[in-house]
Structure 1
Amino acid sequence: MTYIGRFAPSPSGPLHFGSLIAALGSYFQARSQQGVWRVRIEDLDPPREMVGASDWILRALDAYQLHWDGDVVYQSQRHALYQAQIDTWLAEGNAYYCQCSRKQIKEMGGFYNGHCRNLGHTDGAIRLKMATPITEFTDVRYGTMHIPLALAQEDFIIKRRDGLFAYNLAVVLDDIDQGITQVVRGADLIEPTGRQISLYRMLARAPVSYLHLPLAMDARGGKLSKQNHATAIDIKQPKTTLLEAMRFLGFTLPSEIESAEIEHILHWGCQNWQLFQLPNQLAMTVRFSNEAL
């Protein structure tokens, strides 16, 4: 079976070093297996998106010569797919409307306790009845990952009360539709993985396999992220940042590779990529050799 991987950034800002790690890891994993590498823009949440970020992300991938296969998919153009599945679950009694506030859920102990399951509401957020809770799964590099039981058992939201579709629902339906065989992404998404595997089971589909990459942390111990105002990667002179990211992913770079052109660097990376090279820890502090990074 052909390997099909993907990189799926959200357009809440330009790519930073942490998101470059996810892009590179998924790219090397796909290309090392002569597989397909797709790009999907996960523009599900307009209030959090930055104008022009989607185009900037694609320009950045081009600058780093991370060329994808096929057309770019935008989640904002796939609402009908998500709504059709929700309508099916509502009709089957596998989903329901919930009117509980965040304050109420906090009073429940922080996890929703199914309060609205049988109340027959006709509006509010839509939750999926959790019939197949996932408390652990196997990461292809790091082995068994555990999910807290209370989180695994929670009836989680698949459509918000403001009408926006939930990430967990959209990502699984898109991965199925695009034929994704393995998901490679940051370790900050380990906990949602349990919910996503449960969705595969609800849909009677075999789940993909998962590889989670170490998170890049700043000197204060915070995750490099758009929410933490991480600096955008340099797309005018990308080579230095590319080499830093490859070292973060565990590559030992020969001097002739460090002095090579980006196309050759990436080709070498695809040929030499091995899962065992990834660091043992799932979070590492980044100390850049160039402040511009």
Structure 2
Amino acid sequence: MTYSKLMKAMLLTVAVLGLISVASACEISGYKYEKVGDETQPVEGWTIYLYKLVNGKFVYLTETTTDANGYYHFSEADKTLTPFPKSTYGTYRVYEESRTGWTQLYPTTGFYEVQLIRYPREARIVRGLNFINQRDNIDNNNICYTDETAWVAGSRYIEKGNWATYTPYDGAAKTVDIYAGQTIKVGTATFSAPDTNGNVTITIDLNNGAAFADVEENLKMQGYTDVPAENNPSPGKFTTYKGTFSGSSATVTIPQYAYYGIHLDVKVPC
């Protein structure tokens, strides 16, 4: 999503407190984003802190980290939000961790302050408390990137040497991590269940600032009916799919196979 569109959506959400729910469990939630040019990308592994007003002072309650989609929540439903001292209702503040080399763009106050009240029921849930940051000391329109080879996680083609991986697929929808340079987690690949024509839709979502590299055919896929031979794969010879993408997401529909080798050329912030 572009930064300008996200900001408009966030302002609207905060204005109405995102309170559209008939659930009875209290919840506070939102997303963590990085501004990259005019785009925003989800940031995984960022710590979010929750404080509550008790006897005139805000006291620390708990913390959580954002997932691969940048999402975080505190909820009674899964006990990430529990009564303190005797109730979950009250006034809360939500902060994010401060990291060297990053500047918080939103919220401009540095935190959110919200209230959870018993009635109406909609007021027990506050969503859309999103944080947006930008990396310091870079021209946001000319970001320093390092090009990397990436693969959707799975089993290695060979035990030693080349770390390329292929992914088993049993027909069930699932989401699998994507790694660049063998150890850098840069996003996820989501596999759909097969459609009526026996095709599978694969959605690539890159995050933490990663994006498709500025090269031709930066996404290549090879389907296998059996376990691939123990040889170094040659992505240039993949025949199931080849395509060129920009930005941080891509969606491809290809025939169903028992295994997939999915290779990406990506750029990762320096």
TM-score, length of structure 2 as denominator length:
0.23
TM-score, length of structure 1 as denominator length:
0.22
Higher percent of residues as strand: 2
Higher percent of residues as helix: 1
Greater relative contact order (Cα 8 A, min sep 6): structure 1 or 2?
Answer: 1
